[in-house]
Amino acid sequence: MLRSRFIPMILSLLLGGLMPLSFAPFNLAMIAPFALVGLLFLVQERSAKFSALLGVLFGFGMFSWGIWWIRISLIEFGGAPVIVGVLITFLLAFYLSFYYGILLFVLAKIRGSVAFKIGIIFPLLAVILEWIRAELFTGFPWLALGYTLTDLPISQLLFPEMGALMASFWVYWLAGVLFVAARIFLRIDIDSKAKEAKGIRCVVRQLMPACCSMLLMGGALFVSSLWISQKVEKLEESLNIALLQGNIAQELKFNEAQYYEIIATYLRLTDVVAARADLIIWPETAIPSLYEMEGNLGEHLRALSKNQQTQVMTGIFSGNGATVRNSIITYSDEMRMYDQRYDKTHLVPFGEYIPFRSFLSLFSGMIEIPYSDLTAGKVEQSPFEIQKKNGAALFAAASICYEAVFGNELRYQAQTANFLVNVSNDAWFGDSIGPWQHFQIARARAIEAQREMVRATNNGITALIGKDGQVKALLPQFKEAVLEVNVTSYAGMTTYAKLGDLFWGLLAVIGLVMGLFWQRRQM
């Protein structure tokens, strides 16, 4: 008895551990659906409680390795004891794993044929849970399975219409089809009626539910591409942009004694490209102080903008002692009142704010990350207006670091923007897989909006991303350098920019309810 339970538990944990291989930097996309197939075989004819346990173990194996790099910021730069940093990382992984537990628990509880549950309930409920995970408790949609499609041609169809998050449906759907196909091959009966069917009729009967869910989401995809999406057109105007990678060691970044040396690094790199660039972008919090306290630095950057007919955009903190925000400032070539500002809307848990502070007060007292109690900005903010040297204006949708994960929020600016800007500082996570996962997510945002994205970071990954998500130019990590690129501008809204996640999430809910209602009528 114990052995019959122990082996599936270990296998579930191991299968979950394979899942991060589907994401960057490994990009072995097909591992995800095949690992899910293995999980579905493990939960066959299991009780709902044991299925839920296997789901939690699968999720824990996936997230405990997939987000293991979070501990680096807590331990190495936050001063947390090793045990605390590891415990917080595992607690987050444990929370995320419950979504797989819920998925398999509900799947086991629902009455009906395996073909029905796997073909309809499994992919629809799975993507609904991905959607909930992206929203609940401010959301954490990291390692949503849709991102595994980023390097595949299918992403060019799916992401602009339904977004990377909701495209997770198709990964779960494929896993379900593979599972049913494997059962057919292994001659495992799905329902009593299947025993009476032979040959093609048997195959069709067993795959029919999967075809129904495919027609629901695929039909909506077809209609949206014809009647909702606008044609995205290339504009004649382009921008010469310089992306500065200062490579400032994270342990020195907030050391007051290093402030002037940090600023000198960015000013030196700026002087090299100012005469050629329409826009010069410094990374997230490149200026490790408050915008309101900048003094002569702001005046210097405004004068530089005026003399060189360029603009400097930089990450900086803004506010006062009570309310501080992580911001981007684009300096005008005139007075301070004409500077443009964007405030980060989605803050990093445990880095920029402590979630459930009253419950985690013990942990928060052990973590000393500078500026770790920030205030979020508004979701809907105006894009930056960027002037070319010849006077023409283009518009940039901005995001800061972790915000790139939330395509549903970035789309508000992207609707009227001509290109995307992301500034980040992934030095918090060292030489781990975290920055590469983050970069893959940024590439998905470019595909969703059908806009090129420039990404300026402290120590990598600084790059120009094409509207197809392909990397057009890239700086090596952990080196001080400047990347000079010419950015093409575009206009027109994709379906996803218009509708976001809500439309597809509600469609999945409707499909799930209709499927359950139909199944009940058949019983």
Q: Which of these is catalytic: 130, 344, 352, 403?
A: 344
> DSSP character for 142?
T
What does the alpha-carbon distance between residue 210 and residue 485 come to, in Å, rounded to a whole number?
Answer: 45
Phi, psi for 392 (deg, rounded to 5)? -70, 150
211 is catalytic: no
Q: Which of these is catalytic: 130, 161, 284, 409?
A: 284
Task: Give the list of residues 6+ apart from residue 159 with CB closer than 8 angstroms, or none.
Answer: 146, 149, 150, 167, 444, 447, 448, 469, 496
**Nearest Cα to 149, choosing from 139, 159, 141?**
159
Write the single-letter amino acid at 74: L
**Nearest Cα to 19, choosing from 54, 55, 59?**
59
Q: Which of these is catalytic: 401, 403, 409, 448?
A: 401
284 is catalytic: yes
Tallying the residues shown for the chain, one arrives at 523
Cα-based torsion angle of the residue sequence 14, 15, 17, 21 in order, rounded to the nearest 10 degrees: 140
**Nearest Cα to 398, choosing from 343, 439, 356, 449?**
343
What does the alpha-carbon distance between residue 367 and residue 436 come to, in Å, rounded to a whole number?
Answer: 25
Q: What is the 3-state composition of the chain as percent helix, strand, coil, each rounded to the nearest 5?
A: 55, 15, 30
- Say how many C-beta atoms besides its own lie within 10 A of residue 292's C-beta: 14
SS3 state of residue 364: helix
What does the alpha-carbon distance between residue 421 and residue 313 come to, in Å, rounded to a whole number?
Answer: 10
253 is catalytic: no
Catalytic residues: 284, 344, 401
